[in-house]
Copies of this chain bind each other. A is one copy, B any other.
Amino acid sequence: MTDPIRPTDDDARALARTLLSSATYAALGVLAPDTGAPMVTRIALATDPQGQPLTLISDLSAHAMALKANTVASLLVGEPRDRGDPLAHPRLTLQCRAHFTRHGEPGHTALAAHYLTLRPKAKLYSGFDDFFHVTFGIDSALLIGGFGRAWRMTAADILG
């Protein structure tokens, strides 16, 4: 078998950007605070004005407790929406660091307004004190285009 990693080109960058900008949700990987094991949960997703992944989560969620103990995270976006072979669908794995913006902190009002423009249903809970925004700073990425087609990328490849 041959190494599936290919040289990054503009088509691969465009695919990665489209997968991220069109995602309405993601699988979030964190480290469970009690065991250090990986833990994968679902979060709603949008992007901030710089194109970085952005979500809104509650202090009561398992992933919020984990991220507050350790901000290292991974995101998977690019979900099959049909019944075809799930491995044929492109997907993007991001290695990230989480940054929090809580009510009353600098930038919260603008970030919350931006998020609600993209995800208006979040208005139901955006104002609750226990909900806060998480922006994911991208360290690196792995794009899988389908069987045997993969690219390793930098934040610059994805954010432009």
B-binding residues in A (CB < 8 A): 1, 3-4, 24-25, 27-32, 35, 37-42, 44, 58-60, 62, 72-76, 78-83, 85-87, 89, 91, 93, 95, 121, 128, 130, 142, 144
List B contacts of A73 (CB < 8 A). 37-38
Q: Evaluate contact between B42 and A38: CB separation under 8 angstroms.
A: no
Q: Evaluate contact between B41 and A76: CB separation under 8 angstroms.
A: yes
**How many Å from the CB of A7 to the closest CB on chain B?**
17
**How many Å from the CB of A103 to the closest CB on chain B?**
14
Q: How far is the CA of A27 from the CA of B77 in the complex (A)?
A: 10
Known A30-B38, A91-B42, A93-B41: A24·B74 in contact at CB below 8 Å: no
Most buried by B among A38, A39, A95: A38
Closest to A30 in B: B38
**How many Å from the CB of A22 to the closest CB on chain B?**
12
Known A29-B29, A76-B27: A130·B1 in contact at CB below 8 Å: yes
Q: Evaluate contact between A76 and B40: CB separation under 8 angstroms.
A: yes
Q: Evaluate contact between A87 and B40: CB separation under 8 angstroms.
A: no
Q: Evaluate contact between B128 and A29: CB separation under 8 angstroms.
A: no
Known A32-B95, A72-B37: A85·B42 in contact at CB below 8 Å: no
Most buried by B among A37, A41, A78, A121: A37
A-B contact pairs, 24 of them (CB 8 A): A1-B58, A24-B86, A27-B27, A27-B29, A28-B40, A29-B29, A29-B38, A30-B38, A31-B38, A35-B95, A37-B73, A37-B74, A37-B95, A38-B72, A38-B74, A40-B75, A41-B76, A42-B76, A42-B89, A42-B91, A44-B87, A62-B93, A79-B80, A81-B82
